[in-house]
Each structure stands twice: as C-alpha cells, then as structure tokens.
Amino acid sequence: MKLIAGIIGGLILAVLGAILVTMTFAASPEKGGGWGATAFFVFWIIGIAVALGAKSPAKAWRRLLLSSAVLSFLAPISAIIYTGSFMATQIDTASEYAGAQAAGVAVGGGLISGFMGFVGFFLGVVFLIIGLLVGRDKQVVYIERQPQAEGER
C-alpha cells in the first residue's frame, strides 16, 4: 500500500514540481523543457522514496500531501522568477520601444503571478487540510487521579 501511495501521491508531487521548474526556466526554452521533464521524474522518484520510508501508508499519504501543499504555495514565486528572467533575457534594451516591452512584460508577469497565486493558494489549502487530517496519531488522553482527603480513606 505504501508503494501505491508513492506512485499516485508521487505523481501529484511530480506534476506540481515539474510545473514549478518549467515555469521558473520558461524564459529560456532550451533549458525549461528539458529541466521540467527531468524534474518530473526526479520528483516522482523522491515521492516514491518518501512513501516507502514512512511507517504506514497513511503516514506516507500525509507526507506526500503536505509536500504537495508546500509546492503549491511556491507557485507564485516561480511565476515571479519567470517574469524577472524574461525581462532580463528577452527585452531588447537598444530598441525604440524598450519601455513598452518592459511594461508589457511587467503587466503580463503580474497577471501570471496573480493567477498562479490564486491557483497555488487554493490547491495548497486543499492539500494542507487533507494532509493534516490523514495519518494522524490517535489522541492519548491522560486523566490525573484526584488525591483523596485524609478522612475519606
């Protein structure tokens, strides 16, 4: 069962990781696609290894879902890095309309960052809530015995 959790949960982790890496390096297409595909398999192998290292299948799901939540919350950061990288590499500073190009990239990058923030926030919240509810240890309650009065023995 841990292997199944690793394969399916690792697939979720791998898709999110590949999206982040591809988005981060998308300004240079020669790097972005290759690194994104490599990151997919690396994250999937990491997901399987994390699941196999857990004590139980429920703990494996918990670890994978919490890791997916962290990657979901990182989505807007990858979009911001993409915007900065695109501005640094693709804008022709010697052209007559360099300011308009920079403004267009800034507006477009802001929209992409906002969209990734919206999607990443809600995906992260879903993964975080499910991850915190799955695989919890049973709650142990200790009840302290009341001391008896001297005359009641």
* CA–CA gap between residue 96 and residue 25 (Å, rounded): 27
Place of tokens 């990058």: 109
Note down pLDDT in tens along the chain; length 153 residues.
999 999 999 999 999 999 999 998 888 877 778 898 999 999 999 999 999 999 999 999 999 999 999 999 999 999 999 999 888 888 888 888 888 999 999 999 999 999 999 999 999 999 999 999 998 888 888 888 888 776 665
DSSP letter string over 29-97?
A: HHHHHHHHHHHHHHHHHHHHHHHHTSSSHHHHHHHHHHHHHHHHHTHHHHHHHHHHHHHHHH--TTSTT
Nearest to 60 by CA among 4, 125, 140: 4
> Residue 151 has what pLDDT?
62
